């Protein structure tokens, strides 16, 4: 269906596949950079991925100016400041982020500070507060989920004020995303499942959002198909390189889809649950996704119906009468989640994720102020949010 | 000896490169359109230049014009005007001066002088009725302005233009002296210096001028003189204490610049006011000649030397703005600047910048606020471009670009600010921002209306655009007669309509019906002088139209140099910082009935309420609309056609689109409805109260059509109610900005043809600020639309119409439409 109007933007060059990392020096050169600050976390460093990166820079003009490897799982203002200081101290000229969502968001925020000057990140928080183009930024994701390598947002915690600051600006898009299967090989099963379900939630929500459009639909459908086809295989055999690459690609495409179509209530609830109960984002997505589809079923029956094709394949799609395809989609999703749960132990109910029932109401309240709700087809009220949470419990 | 009626209509054009001269006549058509003085100077300047030329190169042109009123014997008829391209701003500069050159030029048989080209070695240009002569000036080169004029052996009827060492050394804000008066701002001296023209001498007294209608002229002069004597400013303040009498008024009004505009008043200010100087040093008139106001004075200073008492701008910028309150020092520096040929305003602004930059460690110099140490040496160094003085000679804009600290570089378009802080006089801020020559207080003066006379509210954008436009055109007209700008006080305020109307009614009319107020201003004295001297009729409307034409032509020349809305701004400090004097006592103002209403209530702790930041954009929008410019500040083609502004041949302005009229109007109307409805609903609707309870006090939301469209702001007050602020708020105060990416989107969304949801979904809105706050706001918007619209419309614009009981919905809707929107309750 062609909407009356839409916008689509993704300026990120995607370098994806076997030995993709070896292109890093070429891409840096193309961006006029030769002295990057490498931002990563200790887990990545321990897994030995740094060596792969430095090996790729062998015999090139590129010299790593400094390595900052102190990014925690939830990045904070202090971390960003330290990163910026490292950049300035070592006279770097660009950034390379190697890691998961937190590392990539940190790199984006460091990029704000080093380009705009100063140490005060707060004045740039919110939407569109950043002026002018930033320094070159190349990201190498080591998890296949957040899609942060192709989005225009960064989320950084401000522990002193106990809030998460969101930064959104088209200047925050990285210049290049390098997807190399070697980078995700070492990811443990449960995390693999959680990040893949995160990507699936991106893709599914993007396909039913009010801002969906033909381009985002294409990316979302591809992502869904890749995840459904490859996740069980990867969970069974961790060293499945082709499967890993497919998941990394799927996360990236889902990222492109949702940063253009935006996400809805599943993410609103997920963000709130994550902030209040510290439940892993991928787990939360896994839990809320079917409920989100059910909630929006009436308003988005047509869109949900079309998800059956990438999710269950052409045979099932053709055999299912059009009238019940939407329900069939949700059923297929549930069955897929059960498979994943038996393979990885990823919980599908809130109670299994250690969320106390007493927290549900505050989660609902927080979720109502989440920007993602703007793009949900249905206008969720407090009571309804609570109802969905009860069901997911 | 020749007798002329009104004017000789002759212009002398001198090509300095080829040393040739020609004389041409001013046509009646040009006279009607441009009057004389600044108008004609600009007209002949405009047709001789092209965009991008080097102001200090041979192609620059300087036009110096007397006018109809000059040498007529009317009150204050010694003024003359000059126009050139300023090396300081790179834009058109105009200046007016009361020295003897104007009358000398006109009585030598020329109304105007146009200088083009460049000499190869220093010369003096001597003009008399027979023509021009080029005299060697090697022996004068290096002498100061007063020595030079003495060496020229000027007779009683002669007048000269002379530059000092600053002009010779191409200091970008060097001025030209004529007697002890100056063509001050914009670097006229550097232009003469670049042409190697040390001085121009007019040997006058040969041509005589008689008015066309001697009796009418006599009558007009009598009335003018009576008005001047009667007026408080011209007849008392300026006559007795000079323009420096402003010090007390500005200090009281909080617009006196202290330490590079870091504050707006100071307890020591009275030490340096005109009245104190009069008491300490005596004040003998030393003025333009002839003059009826007598604002210039000289006195005997502590070192027993006789000097000119410094004018207000000099006192402000070489005094209080440097933290100096000693009139002896200021007068000495004033004299030094005058002799060297330096503009005291720019010079003071630069010294203040250097002092602040030195204190902040951006540069090393001995200059510090409050200390006279090194100031005199610095002035000398600027004029001779030695050491740091070389950088300082480039003006504050280039200086701050080199050393940093552009946020406290107090200039507009490169011209240093005069001594009225716009934060206490917003109309003056608009005047600075849009003035064609840059930060200039004589393009339009609103501080008298806002601060001295109290006719306009100083900290409100209301009505300011009308008065800036009016004064710009009026002053352009007055400078084209030319006569003294100060006569405005007398001729306007002492005219019967202003004199006999109670002040409260005057103020109310000016504040609320500015378009009517400016039409009621009595300008007939100015036009009568012109008519009776020159003999062609000139209605007040034609007079103002000529002013419009001059202002717009000047703007057009600037636009060809690339000036647009982005340049019509004020220094960062003015737009973003509050001063200590702003918070003191500003909260104590409370009207009588409010005090009564609060009687018996416990007094709330005085809130440390900061005054609003200067809302320049609102005033700019209104000003451009009045002037017939696009929203980006470029004169529209139809404006040029309407005013018959001669379109320069090298135009590049064929693609300038007109302004849209209908859609912005619709948007404005709906913004008002929406804003008032939100304000009203926030007081009576439970959903609103619940939502707003969690918002921080003072949270400000701005709705705006990008890039320069209408605007509307709402702010949460202490009682958790939204206040509709309309378009009176600086955009910098907004915590959340909802920008419609174009006018069409705004029109469609506000008229319920595009839903809020789709607006966001289709990315047609730009949200700047906190996203959670934006989320809350959309819930309020949904709610207000459910309340305002019948269900069949509401269904289309919100995702889900909130279920409201019929009775509640009906009374709330009735309340909103009958009381909320019309009355704002």
Q: For the segment B24-39, what is each residue's pLDDT rounded down to a tens digit?
A: 999 999 999 999 999 9
User: Would you state the pLDDT for residue A340?
Assistant: 95
Partner residue opposite B775 with nearest CB, options A4, A129, A370: A370
Q: What is the mean pLDDT of residues B252-274?
A: 95
Mapped onto helix, strand or coil, the DSSP state of residue B319 is coil
Q: Is the pLDDT of residue B597 over 60?
A: no
B758/chain A closest Cα distance in angstroms: 8
With b for 16 or more beta-carbon neighbours within 10 A and e for fewer, the B559-570 pattern comes to bbbebebebbbb
Q: For the segment B803-825, what is each residue's pLDDT rounded down to a tens digit?
A: 788 888 899 999 999 998 988 77
**Taking a contact as any Cβ pair under 8 Å apart, which residues of chain A between 351 and 390 contact chain B?**
368-371, 373-375, 377-379
Q: Is B53 on the interface with A (CB under 8 A)?
A: no
Q: For the segment B488-520, what is each residue's pLDDT rounded down to a tens digit?
A: 999 999 999 999 999 999 999 999 999 999 999
Residue B512 has a CB neighbour count (10 Å cut-off) of: 11
Q: Is B27 on the interface with A (CB under 8 A)?
A: no
B265/chain A closest Cα distance in angstroms: 31
* Mutation for testing the B interface, residue in A2, A170, A379, A381 having most B CBs under 10 Å: A379
Which chain B residue is nearest to residue A170, measuring alpha carbons? B766
Q: Is A120 on the interface with B (CB under 8 A)?
A: no
Q: What is the mean pLDDT of residues B652-673?
A: 86
Query: Which of A10-19, B72-81, B322-331, B648-657 comes out lowest in average pLDDT?
Result: B648-657
Mapped onto helix, strand or coil, the DSSP state of residue B822 is helix
Q: What's the distance, Cα to Cα, between the start and end of chain A in Å? A: 35
As a whole number of angstroms, the distance between CA B113 and CA B163 comes to 17
Partner residue opposite B771 with nearest CB, options A166, A377, A379: A166
Q: Is the pLDDT of residue B714 over 90?
A: yes
Sheet holding B711-716, edge to edge: A153-158, A163-168, A126-127, B765-769, B736-740, B700-705, B711-716, B722-726
User: Would you state the pLDDT for residue A279?
Assistant: 87
User: Would you state the pLDDT for residue B607?
Assistant: 45
User: Would you state the pLDDT for residue A193?
Assistant: 94
**Taking a contact as any Cβ pair under 8 Å apart, which residues of chain B between 710 and 739 contact chain A?**
736
Burial of B340 (0-12, 13-18, 19+ CB in 10 A): buried
* A141, β-bridge pairs: A99
Partner residue opposite A369 with nearest CB, options B767, B769, B775: B775
How much of chain A exceeds pLDDT 90, in percent? Answer: 62
Inter-chain contacts counted by CB atoms under 8 A, chains A and B: 63
Q: What is the mean pLDDT of residues A50-78?
A: 89
Q: Is A129 on the interface with B (CB under 8 A)?
A: yes
ipTM value for the complex: 0.82
Q: Is A259 on the interface with B (CB under 8 A)?
A: no
What does pLDDT average to over chain B?
92
Q: Is B810 on the interface with A (CB under 8 A)?
A: no
As a whole number of angstroms, the distance between CA B252 and CA B592 comes to 22
Q: Is the pLDDT of residue A91 over 80?
A: yes
Q: What is the mean pLDDT of residues B46-50?
A: 92
User: Would you state the pLDDT for residue B588?
Assistant: 43
Contact assessment for residue B16 and residue B121, using Cβ atoms and an 8 Å cutoff: no
User: Would you state the pLDDT for residue B394?
Assistant: 97
Under the banding of pLDDT at 50, 70 and 90, the label for residue A103 is very high
Sheet holding A176-179, edge to edge: A13-16, A176-179, A137-141, A94-99, A36-39, A66-68
User: Would you state the pLDDT for residue B287?
Assistant: 93
Residues comprising chain A, all counted = 393
DSSP secondary structure of B366-409: S--TT--TTHHHHHHHHHHT-THHHHHTTHHHHHHHHHS-GGG-
User: Would you state the pLDDT for residue A164?
Assistant: 76
**Taking a contact as any Cβ pair under 8 Å apart, which residues of chain B between 759 and 798 contact chain A?**
760-764, 766-772, 774-776, 778, 782, 798
User: Would you state the pLDDT for residue A163?
Assistant: 73
What DSSP state is assigned to residue B108? Answer: T
**Taking a contact as any Cβ pair under 8 Å apart, which residues of chain A between 189 and 218 contact chain B?**
209-211
Q: Is the pLDDT of residue A305 over 70?
A: yes
CA B672 vs. chain centroid, Å, equals 30
As a whole number of angstroms, the distance between CA B570 and CA B429 comes to 7
A217/chain B closest Cα distance in angstroms: 15
User: Would you state the pLDDT for residue B651?
Assistant: 58
A267/chain B closest Cα distance in angstroms: 14
What does pLDDT average to over chain A?
91
How many CA atoms within 13 Å lie on the side-chain side of B233? 18
- List the one residue out of B599, B595, B617, B609 whose CA is nearest residue B728: B617
Q: Is the pLDDT of residue B646 over 90?
A: no
Strands (E), B137-246: 158-162, 176-178, 181-183, 197-203, 207-210
User: Would you state the pLDDT for residue A159?
Assistant: 78
Higher pLDDT, B350 or A188: B350
Q: Is the pLDDT of residue B621 over 60?
A: yes
Contact assessment for residue B509 and residue B584, using Cβ atoms and an 8 Å cutoff: no
Contact state of A379 with B782 under an 8 Å Cβ cutoff: yes
User: Would you state the pLDDT for residue B762?
Assistant: 82
User: Would you state the pLDDT for residue B606?
Assistant: 42
Partner residue opposite B771 with nearest CB, options A127, A378, A379: A127
Contact state of B763 with A128 under an 8 Å Cβ cutoff: no
Q: For the segment B717-774, what is each residue's pLDDT rounded down to a tens digit?
A: 888 999 999 999 999 899 999 999 999 999 999 998 888 888 887 888 888 888 778 8
Q: What is the mean pLDDT of residues A329-352?
A: 94
User: Would you state the pLDDT for residue B471?
Assistant: 97
CA B89 vs. chain centroid, Å, equals 15
User: Would you state the pLDDT for residue B605?
Assistant: 41
Q: Is the pLDDT of residue B608 over 60?
A: no
Contact state of A378 with B799 under an 8 Å Cβ cutoff: yes
Contact state of B771 with A168 under an 8 Å Cβ cutoff: yes
Q: What is the mean pLDDT of residues B791-799?
A: 83
Q: What is the mean pLDDT of residues B675-690?
A: 92
Q: Is the pLDDT of residue A303 over 60?
A: yes
Alpha helices by DSSP H, B479-615:
487-493, 496-499, 503-512, 514-520, 524-534, 540-560, 572-576, 580-583, 592-597
As a whole number of angstroms, the distance between CA B171 and CA B188 comes to 10
DSSP secondary structure of B497-535: HHHSS-HHHHHHHHHH-HHHHHHH---HHHHHHHHHHH-
Q: For the segment A130-187, what is each residue's pLDDT rounded down to a tens digit?
A: 888 999 999 999 987 788 999 998 988 887 776 778 898 999 999 999 999 888 888 8
* A156, β-bridge pairs: A165
Q: What is the mean pLDDT of residues B430-459?
A: 95
Q: Parallel, antiparallel, or unpaired: how do β-strands B207-210 and B2-5 relate? A: parallel
As a whole number of angstroms, the distance between CA B434 and CA B555 comes to 9
Q: Is the pLDDT of residue A82 over 50?
A: yes
**Taking a contact as any Cβ pair under 8 Å apart, which residues of chain B between 741 and 760 contact chain A?**
757-758, 760
Contact assessment for residue B300 and residue B326, using Cβ atoms and an 8 Å cutoff: no
User: Would you state the pLDDT for residue B650?
Assistant: 57
Which chain A residue is nearest to residue B801, measuring alpha carbons? A379
User: Would you state the pLDDT for residue B601?
Assistant: 43
- List the one residue out of B135, B168, B167 whose CA is nearest residue B151: B135
pTM: 0.90
As a whole number of angstroms, the distance between CA B430 and CA B252 comes to 21
Q: Is the pLDDT of residue B603 over 50?
A: no
Residue B529 has a CB neighbour count (10 Å cut-off) of: 28
Spatial neighbors of B570 by CB under 8 A, at least 6 apart, are B412, B422, B429, B432, B433, B614, B616
Q: What is the mean pLDDT of residues A52-73?
A: 90
Contact assessment for residue B777 and residue B759, using Cβ atoms and an 8 Å cutoff: no
3-state class percentages of chain B: helix first, strand second, coil last, to nearest 5: 45, 15, 40
Q: For the segment B9-24, what is each residue's pLDDT rounded down to a tens digit?
A: 999 999 999 999 999 9
Q: Is it true that the peptide bond before B482 is cis, omega within 30 degrees of 0?
A: yes
CA B290 vs. chain centroid, Å, equals 27
Q: What is the mean pLDDT of residues B1-10?
A: 88
User: Would you state the pLDDT for residue B1?
Assistant: 58
């Amino acid at each position: 269906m062609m909407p009356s109007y839409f916008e689509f933007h993704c300026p990120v060059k995607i370098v994806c596949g076997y030995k993709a990392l070896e292109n890093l020096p070429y891409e840096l050169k193309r961006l006029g950079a030769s002295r990057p600050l490498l931002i990563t976390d200790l887990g990545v460093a321990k897994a030995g991925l740094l060596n792969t990166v430095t090996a790729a820079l062998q015999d090139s003009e590129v010299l790593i100016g400094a390595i900052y490897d102190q990014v925690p799982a939830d990045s904070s203002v202090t971390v960003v400041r330290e990163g910026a200081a490292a950049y300035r101290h070592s006279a770097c000229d660009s950034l390379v982020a190697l890691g998961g969502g937190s590392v990539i968001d940190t790199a984006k925020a460091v990029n704000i500070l080093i380009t705009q000057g100063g140490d005060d990140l707060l004045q740039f928080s919110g939407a569109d507060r950043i002026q002018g183009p930033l320094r070159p930024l190349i990201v190498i994701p080591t998890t296949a989920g957040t899609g942060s390598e192709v989005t225009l947002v960064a989320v950084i915690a401000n522990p002193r004020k106990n809030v998460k600051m969101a930064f959104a600006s088209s200047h925050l898009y990285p210049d290049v995303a390098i997807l190399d299967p070697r980078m995700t090989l070492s990811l443990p099963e449960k995390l693999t499942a959680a990040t893949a379900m995160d990507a699936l939630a991106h893709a599914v929500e993007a396909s039913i959002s009010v801002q969906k459009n033909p381009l985002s639909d294409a990316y979302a459908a591809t992502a869904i198909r890749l995840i459904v086809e490859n996740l069980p295989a990867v969970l069974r055999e961790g060293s499945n390189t082709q499967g890993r690459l497919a998941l990394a690609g799927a996360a990236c495409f889902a990222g492109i889809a949702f940063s253009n179509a935006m996400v809805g209530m599943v993410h609103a609830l997920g963000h709130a649950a994550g902030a209040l109960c510290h439940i892993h984002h991928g787990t939360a997505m896994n839990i809320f996704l079917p409920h989100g589809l059910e909630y929006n079923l009436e308003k988005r029956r047509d869109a949900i119906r079309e998800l059956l094709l990438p999710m269950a394949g052409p045979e099932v799609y053709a055999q299912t009468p059009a009238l019940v395809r939407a329900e069939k989609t949700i059923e297929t999703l549930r069955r897929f989640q059960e498979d994943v749960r038996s393979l990885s132990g990823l919980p599908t109910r809130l109670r299994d994720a250690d969320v106390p029932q007493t927290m549900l109401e505050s989660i609902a309240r927080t979720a109502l102020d989440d920007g993602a709700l703007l793009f949900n087809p249905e206008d969720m009220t407090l009571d309804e949010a609570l109802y969905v949470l009860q069901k997911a419990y | 000896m020749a007798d002329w009626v009104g004017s000789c209509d002759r212009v002398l054009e001198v090509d300095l490169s080829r040393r040739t001269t020609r004389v041409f006549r001013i046509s009646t058509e040009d006279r009607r359109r441009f009057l004389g003085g600044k108008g004609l100077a600009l007209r002949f300047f405009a047709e001789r230049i092209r965009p991008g030329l080097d102001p200090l190169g041979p192609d620059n042109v300087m036009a110096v014009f007397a006018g109809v009123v000059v040498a007529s014997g009317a009150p204050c008829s010694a003024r003359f005007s000059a126009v050139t391209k300023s090396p300081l701003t790179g834009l058109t500069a105009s200046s007016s001066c009361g020295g003897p050159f104007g009358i000398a030029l006109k009585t030598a048989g020329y109304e105007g002088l146009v200088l083009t080209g460049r000499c190869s070695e220093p010369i003096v240009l001597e003009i008399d009725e027979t023509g021009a002569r080029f005299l060697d000036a090697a022996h004068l080169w290096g002498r100061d302005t007063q020595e030079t004029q003495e060496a020229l052996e000027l007779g009683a009827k002669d007048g000269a233009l002379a530059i000092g060492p600053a002009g010779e050394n191409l200091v970008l804000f060097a001025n030209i002296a004529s007697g002890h008066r100056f063509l001050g701002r914009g670097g006229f001296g550097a232009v003469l210096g670049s042409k190697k023209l040390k001085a121009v001498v007019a040997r006058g007294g040969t041509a005589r001028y008689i008015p066309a209608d001697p009796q009418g002229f006599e009558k007009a002069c009598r009335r003018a003189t009576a008005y001047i004597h009667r007026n408080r400013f011209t007849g008392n303040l300026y006559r007795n204490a000079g323009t420096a009498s402003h010090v007390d008024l500005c200090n009281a009004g909080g617009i006196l610049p202290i330490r590079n505009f870091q504050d707006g008043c100071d307890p020591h200010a009275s030490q340096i006011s005109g009245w104190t100087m009069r008491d300490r040093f005596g004040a003998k008139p030393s003025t333009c000649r002839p003059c009826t106001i007598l604002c210039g004075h000289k006195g005997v200073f502590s070192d027993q030397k006789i000097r000119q008492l410094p004018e207000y701008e000099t006192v402000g910028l070489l005094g209080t703005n440097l933290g100096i309150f000693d009139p002896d020092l200021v007068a000495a520096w004033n004299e030094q600047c005058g002799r060297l040929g330096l503009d005291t305003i720019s010079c003071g602004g630069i010294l203040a910048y250097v002092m602040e930059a030195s204190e902040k460690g951006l540069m090393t110099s001995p200059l510090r606020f409050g200390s006279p140490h090194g100031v005199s040496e610095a002035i000398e160094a600027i004029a001779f471009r030695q050491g740091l003085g070389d950088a300082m000679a480039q003006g504050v804009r280039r200086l701050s670009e080199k050393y940093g600290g552009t946020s406290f570089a107090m200039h507009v378009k490169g011209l240093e600010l005069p001594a009225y802080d716009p934060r206490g006089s917003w109309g003056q801020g608009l005047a600075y921002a849009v003035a064609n020559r840059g930060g200039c207080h004589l393009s339009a003066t609103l501080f008298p209306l806002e601060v001295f006379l109290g006719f306009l509210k100083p900290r409100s954008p209301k009505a300011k655009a009308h008065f800036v436009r009016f004064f710009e055109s009026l002053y352009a007209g007055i400078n084209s007669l030319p006569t003294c700008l100060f006569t405005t006080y007398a001729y306007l305020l002492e005219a019967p309509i202003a004199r006999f109307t109670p002040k409260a009614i005057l103020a109310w009319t000016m504040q609320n019906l500015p378009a009517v107020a400016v039409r009621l201003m009595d300008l007939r004295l100015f036009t009568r002088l012109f008519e009776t001297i020159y003999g062609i009729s000139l209605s007040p409307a034609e007079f103002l139209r000529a002013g419009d034409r001059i202002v717009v032509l000047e703007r057009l020349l600037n636009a060809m140099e690339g000036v647009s809305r982005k340049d019509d701004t004020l220094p960062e400090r003015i737009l973003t910082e509050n001063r200590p004097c702003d918070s003191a006592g500003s909260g104590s103002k409370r009207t009588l009935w409010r005090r009564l209403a609060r009687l018996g209530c416990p007094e709330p702790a005085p809130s440390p309420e900061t005054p609003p930041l200067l809302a320049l954009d609102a005033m700019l929008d209104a000003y451009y609309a009045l002037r017939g410019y696009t929203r980006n500040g470029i004169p529209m083609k139809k404006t040029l056609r309407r005013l018959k502004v001669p379109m320069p041949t090298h135009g590049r302005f064929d693609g300038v689109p007109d302004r849209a009229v209908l859609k912005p109007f619709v948007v404005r109307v709906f913004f008002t409805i929406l804003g008032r409805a939100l304000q009203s609903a926030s007081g009576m609707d439970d959903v609103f109260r619940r939502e707003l309870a969690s918002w921080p006090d003072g949270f400000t939301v701005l709705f705006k059509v990008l890039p320069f469209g209408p605007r509307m702001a709402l702010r949460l007050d202490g009682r958790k109610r939204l206040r509709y602020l309309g378009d009176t708020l600086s955009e910098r105060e907004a915590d959340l900005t909802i920008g419609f990416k174009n006018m069409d989107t705004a029109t469609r969304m506000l008229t319920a043809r595009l839903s809020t949801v789709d607006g966001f979904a289709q990315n047609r809105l730009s949200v700047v600020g906190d996203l959670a706050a934006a989320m809350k706001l959309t819930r309020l918007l949904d709610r207000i639309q459910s309340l305002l619209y019948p269900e069949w419309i509401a269904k289309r614009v919100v995702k889900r119409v909130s279920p409201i009981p019929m009775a509640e919905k009906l009374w709330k809707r009735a309340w909103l439409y009958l009381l909320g929107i019309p009355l704002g309750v």
